[in-house]
Structure 1
Amino acid sequence: MTRKILVVLSEYGYWGEELIGPLDVIDEHGYEATFLTPTGKRPYALPPSKEPGFFDPPLDKVVVDEYYARKTTEVDDSGRLANPLNLEAWFPERPYFNSTNFGHALEEYYTKRDACWKELEQYDALLMVGGSGPMIDMCNNIRLHDVILGFLAQGKLIAAECYAVTTLAFARDFTERKSIIWGKHVTGHAIEYDWHDGTGVLGIDHNFKWAFYPLEFILRDATGPAGQFHGGVGRTISTILDYPFLSGRSTQDSRLVGELMVQVLEHGLRRYGW
């Protein structure tokens, strides 16, 4: 039976290598990738991630090589991402606490969400692709949080890259309010590698300068005293698997994230990188 991966992409720009790296591996192993965006709009790569030789100031080095620039452009120009699933039309939104008939509305919400979770049974793993775009429409998207909780309830692999790792910190059961990565080991953008200038997203003509939030601090708080944030500062790769969570710090982890997904699904790997 063909394995199916649900791949979530921002409508405000994903980083090319962070899709292509794991997607190459998914394709090589004959897996089926199904794409999902917050409102069903076609996703596009952030322009710098299609630019060979693009220089990253915080890392003080080139982060886009010829291969990933070409492959990102090929996928962006193809029809492969043309018709993603629409998260907004699929999963219900939790009602406001002070909305009319909140009790009944909450019951309806849970009933619809349970039906959506049933539909998630067809997928073997969840992959959330990073870049600056996810900071706008993925990280605090409560519908996406419910997708994550659905995979968690089914004991399935949940992978996130770069700033999309924030969704793991924010996705919480509405009644318990506790971080799902409490006591877990994860990686993410270390403060040393955060941008001080030039942060931008598709569709908004503005330089936001620094990243919208320091992800390292969020993850340190979310994992708690029994868990750990691994920044991997000074190391080329920082990829952490603490099942069911697989997190990759940035672009260079992308291919390894895909390879580890295969190791989890095919060979039962449960721990890596710590």
Structure 2
Amino acid sequence: MSKKVLAILSEFGYWGIELVGPLEKLEEAGYTVEFMTPKGKKAEALPPSYDTTYVDPPLGMCVTTSEAAEKVKAFEATNRLEQRRNMSEEIPERPYFSTPDFLRKFEQYFSDVKVAQDKLTEEYAALLLVGGSGPIIDMVNNQRVHDIILAFYKKNMPIGAICYGVAPLIFARDFNERKSIIRGKHVTGHCIEYDYHDNTGFLHTDLNMGPPPYTLEYMLSDAVGPEGQYHGNFGKQTSVIVDYPFITARSLQCAFEFGEQFVNVLDNGLKRYGW
């Protein structure tokens, strides 16, 4: 089995420890983590994720520990994110339905995307979707991200997602069947109690979105359907759920546990955890 994991990061800011935490655990287990961004631009950690004075509004406390801040700053200083893959160059874009000669181009898209999917699943053992506010802009409703998720899903390969990195799982659907791939599954993700009222911020834009544009808990609850379950675990320090092939984590406090269970899935065949 490949000992490489592909991590997808937003170009509008990722939460530092939500990458560095699982990265540390994966590397300790002998895995190499490589990076991809939607348009090939360098991903950067959101400043609050390495600021130990930042008070998280819904939790009313400093959520960035000294340990996390130092680990994130040390990682950023390595310039490892200078080496990254460009998703827009590797995954074809689905054509508009108004495109001339649409049917032929649509058939070509399906043919090309399968080639791209096969290459990724041959090279990597698993997929990691990193959270933060940035994914709201360029990962959640990104067809190319969806096609990468589907590549691993269709081959029953592990897919790890943390915080708002969980959101793309809702929308990654076979184009013709259009059914949620997490239907009937147990998942976690950003709960209502953790949502901002204002100042959901991003890098490289002055946009202040106010609250997030969607309530992730509601969308996850609807997507899993009556046979599945969303677990917010509000009041518990962490929330990490494994319902193979998905490993999901609620937020930054879960980063190291998330990484540990990711490794357990890869190396020990873990299929269920946290429910």
Which runs of 5 or more residues in structure 1 are unaligned? none
Query: C-alpha distance in 2, partners of 1:247/1:143?
Result: 20
Deviation at 1:252, TM superposition (A): 0.7
Higher mean C-alpha deviation, range 87-96 or range 68-77: 68-77
Asked if 1:272 corresponds to 2:267, the answer is no
Show the counterpart of 1:137: 138
Q: Is the 8 A contact 1:53 1:65 kept in 2?
A: no
Give the letter for the 2:74 counterpart.
E
Show the counterpart of 1:109: 109
Give the letter for the 1:213 counterpart.
Y
Deviation at 1:56, TM superposition (A): 1.0
Show the counterpart of 2:237: 236
Show the counterpart of 1:27: 27
**What secondary structure is seen at the aligned counterpart in 1 of 2:19?**
helix
Deviation at 1:2, TM superposition (A): 5.6
**What secondary structure is seen at the aligned counterpart in 1 of 2:166?**
helix
Query: C-alpha distance in 2, partners of 1:193/1:230?
Result: 13
Show the counterpart of 1:9: 9
Show the counterpart of 2:175: 174
Q: Is the 8 A contact 1:3 1:32 kept in 2?
A: yes
Deviation at 1:204, TM superposition (A): 1.1
Query: C-alpha distance in 1, partners of 2:147/2:13?
Result: 22
Deviation at 1:78, TM superposition (A): 2.1
Query: C-alpha distance in 2, partners of 1:205/1:94?
Result: 29
Q: Is the 8 A contact 1:237 1:253 kept in 2?
A: yes
Query: C-alpha distance in 2, partners of 1:213/1:56?
Result: 19
Computed over aligned residues only, the root mean square deviation of the Cα atoms, in angstroms, reads 1.1
Query: C-alpha distance in 1, partners of 2:18/2:76?
Result: 13
Show the counterpart of 2:64: 64
Query: 1:73-128 CA deviation, whole Å, 9 max, x = no partner?
Result: 12222220012100000000111122111111111111111111121111111000
Query: C-alpha distance in 2, partners of 1:39/1:118?
Result: 20
Q: Is the 8 A contact 2:2 2:123 kept in 1?
A: no
Higher mean C-alpha deviation, range 54-63 or range 152-161: 54-63
**Which aligned pairs between 1:203-222 and structure 2 lie closer than 5 A?**
203-222=204-223
For these two proteins, the number of residue pairs brought into alignment is 274
Show the counterpart of 1:195: 196
Query: C-alpha distance in 2, partners of 1:83/1:264?
Result: 27
The two structures have a TM-score, normalised by structure 1, of 0.97
The two structures have a TM-score, normalised by structure 2, of 0.97
Query: 1:189-226 CA deviation, whole Å, 9 max, x = no partner?
Result: 11111001221000112332211210011101100110
**What secondary structure is seen at the aligned counterpart in 1 of 2:248?**
strand
Which runs of 5 or more residues in structure 2 are unaligned? none
**Which aligned pairs between 1:14-163 and structure 2 lie closer than 5 A?**
14-120=14-120, 121-163=122-164
Q: Is the 8 A contact 2:2 2:124 kept in 1?
A: no
Q: Is the 8 A contact 2:158 2:244 kept in 1?
A: yes
Query: C-alpha distance in 2, partners of 1:117/1:205?
Result: 35
Deviation at 1:53, TM superposition (A): 3.4
Query: C-alpha distance in 1, partners of 2:141/2:134?
Result: 12
